[in-house]
Structure 1
């Protein structure tokens, strides 16, 4: 039996087909342009495979509320061509199979819990820091949704004392994403983040914001592990800086696991999302 997965990102869609052991039989990458063009390529891929189910992790925000009239839609995304697009409806109209529907970061969190850095845990928080900041939450082995899904990148943060940058978020200005996502590094310092030296002051400021956010998530969710992914987190010097800043800001208020085991890099790398989607597809029919 084969299972399908779609990791729908803002830059590219990754589509894959695997067996129940996650042995991927075929995988493609499709540019994210406009729905008509991108979905035509998605359909061309899955038309070749007889899958029992499909797991989708999509960029968002998306509607995950099954009671909503727009369940399965991409909603208020800044990618305007995809705003209010009935993604789930397009898939179920084309394929008469069950479809698991969640965010790309929820799928990545689930992948990391089951097959990545958080194996053996019952809960984890996955945070991706790149062009934007997003996060997925798994508690007691289940992806957390409510009326909507978590948008951890848009919490408000206290400004770093030395940071005069106004923030890049078009909705909130200096929320976490506005001051700590990739574009903020470039706009604050005039060059792309990966061009900054490892000892540049920028990373102290970045670590301060990320640690502050992780402190808030810790106080609210108390996950067993915080897994960090995305392009910015490939700057490995951030991890000791974040842990030190987290310890200082938390100031001993609540206990956590040892920070080297609590704030960690993702175990699956760029495969976290597609792995989670495949796992959700398999569970949809088993």
Structure 2
């Protein structure tokens, strides 16, 4: 690589796969590699080799599945917390890279990284507030508000909100090992597989997707009223079903019932602009991870964006 200009590394560390990338000074991706998420030792080792083969990089950004400790100064900063992913609880995903590569490492959740990527380079360009919901194996949410990623007590854990559960329509008890029928327990890819006995991509019954649209629309409505984002991006493997987002938008129009009026979208055309798929496709998360790396160089004493 040309050492005259900085290069940045990014990792979208998901529960199914890790996407590693190197980008130029402007954040444009130059090389990527997909690594299956297996054991921490194997997965982190493969990611390490990707970057060691492409040295030097100025910084690395990691957007990881969680929950993860993103609190600078915490003794468990960079550690995966109480994840249901077998073998990954209490795994440190920051220190090994920082030690081996000798560069600043920016950290956030995978969904916050996706929100950042879309805000910088995709659906949120020019907006002050953007929310990103991922509906895949699990469900998560990240958000950019006034140019900054949302953090607080920890980070958003939107997948574990409670939504209405009509037990007559859907007697499924839920798949979340912590909360049963929270949003993730009812509407994630894992929940769909357990409820119907097959993965989401193999389910074609319209009633399956009507129920899924109901749950996602309820989630989008809650997010609209709680955070008031200017746009909501819905990504993830389950959300790739072509009919899902149109059904979510139609149901959302009914659920909001015109309240509180403008500027909340009140018609099909406005709703299509408000609830979108990711403009960056499958690259949202890793693009955001690269932005975390660029921010880590700009503010090396602040490990978060």
Relative to the length of structure 2, the TM-score reads 0.89
Query: What SS does structure 1 have at the residue aligned with 2:94?
Result: helix
Shift of 1:241: 1.4
Equivalent-residue separation in structure 2 for 1:190 and 1:182 (angstroms): 11
Post-superposition offset of 1:97:
1.4
Task: Give the Cα–Cα distance (whole angstroms) in 2 for the partners of residues 155 and 205 of structure 1.
Answer: 17
- Any idea what the Cα deviations from partners look like across 1:47-68, whole Å, max 9, x if unmatched? 2210111111011110011142
Q: 2:124 aligns with which of 109, 118, 127?
A: 118
- In the other structure, the counterpart of 1:135 is 141
1:147 CA drift (Å): 1.8
**In 2, are the aligned partners of 1:16 and 1:24 still within 8 Å (CA)?**
yes
For residue 278 of structure 2, the aligned residue among 266, 270, 280 is 266
CA drift at 1:130:
1.1
Corresponding residue number in structure 1 for 2:105: 99
Tell me the distance in 2 between the aligned counterparts of 1:10 and 1:191: 19
Residue 285 of structure 1 pairs with residue 291 of structure 2: no
Q: How does 1:126-275 map to 2 (within 5 A)?
A: 126-160=132-166, 162-197=169-204, 200-255=206-261, 256-257=264-265, 258-275=270-287
2:7 to 2, 10, 17: 2
1:10 deviation in Å? 1.0
1:266 CA drift (Å): 0.9
Q: For the residues of structure 2 that align with 1:239 and 1:21, how far apart are their CA atoms? A: 32
Point out 4+ residue stretches in structure 1 off by more than 6 angstroms.
none
Q: What is the SS of the residue equivalent to 1:242?
A: helix
Which whole-Å CA distance do the structure 2 matches of 1:136 and 1:186 have between them?
24
Corresponding residue SS for 2:193:
helix
What is the alpha-carbon distance in structure 2 between the residues aligned to residue 201 and residue 11 of structure 1? 27
Structure 1 length as normaliser, TM-score?
0.95
Partner of 1:62: 68
Give distance in 1, aligned partners of 2:48 and 2:228. Answer: 40
Equivalent pairs counted in the alignment come to 285
Secondary structure (helix, strand or coil) at the match of 2:75 reads coil
Q: Which residue of 1 aligns with 2:59?
A: 53
Contact 1:65-1:146 at 8 Å conserved across structures:
no
In 1, Cα distance between the equivalents of 2:200 and 2:20?
Answer: 29
The answer to whether the 8 Å contact 2:21/2:33 transfers is yes
Distance 2:224 2:149 in 1: 17
CA distance in 1, matches of 2:223, 2:74: 27
TM-superposed CA distance for 1:7, in Å, is 1.0
Please, which of 38, 42, 50 is the counterpart of residue 33 of structure 1? 38
Superposed CA RMSD: 1.5
Q: CA deviation at 1:189?
A: 3.0
- My pick for the range that moved more, 206-215 or 88-97, is 88-97
My pick for the range that moved more, 98-107 or 246-255, is 246-255
Secondary structure of 1:26's aligned partner = strand
